[in-house]
């Protein structure tokens, strides 16, 4: 299933209380339960005025349905094509040893 990042513009999101975030999570989960197994919420990151969510879904349309039914904005939806992290740039062990010997 493709993975997507959703940008939700929500002024003041970074100042939401724990209770506010729990309410949002409960609402999201109830909508996900109704939509079935073709959409999965992985995680969300709360910034000052935005929430960035990572979802797996069969389609972008399903993500839009989730947002509409939950009353959440979905200002930008982008399919993730690749993932990198600090280890992506690490040299293989053989090359790393060669660089140390110099």
Q: What pLDDT does residue 19 have?
A: 97
Q: How many Cα atoms are found within 13 Å in the side-chain-facing hemisphere of 46?
A: 14
All domains of the chain in start order, with CATH: 3-101 (3.30.70.3090)
pLDDT at position 100? 53
**Is the full-model pTM beyond 0.85?**
no
Closest C-alpha to 7, from 71, 80, 76, 73: 76
- Residue-by-residue pLDDT tens, the chain, 102 positions: 999 999 999 999 999 999 999 999 999 999 999 999 999 999 999 999 999 999 999 999 999 999 999 999 999 999 999 999 999 988 776 665 555 555
Of 35, 30, 42, 83, nearest to 59 (Cα)? Answer: 35
Question: With contact defined as beta carbons under 8 Å apart, do 75 and 13 qualify?
Answer: no
């Amino acid at each position: 299933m493709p993975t997507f990042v959703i940008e939700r513009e929500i002024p003041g999101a970074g100042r939401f209380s724990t209770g506010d975030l729990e309410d949002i999570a409960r609402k999201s989960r109830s909508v996900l339960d109704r939509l079935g197994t073709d959409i999965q919420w992985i995680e969300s990151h709360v910034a000052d005025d935005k929430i960035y969510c990572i979802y797996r879904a069969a389609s972008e349309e399903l993500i839009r349905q989730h947002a509409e039914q939950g009353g959440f904005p979905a200002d930008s939806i982008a399919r993730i094509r690749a993932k990198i992290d600090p280890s992506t740039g690490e040299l293989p062990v053989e090359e790393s040893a060669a660089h140390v010997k110099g």
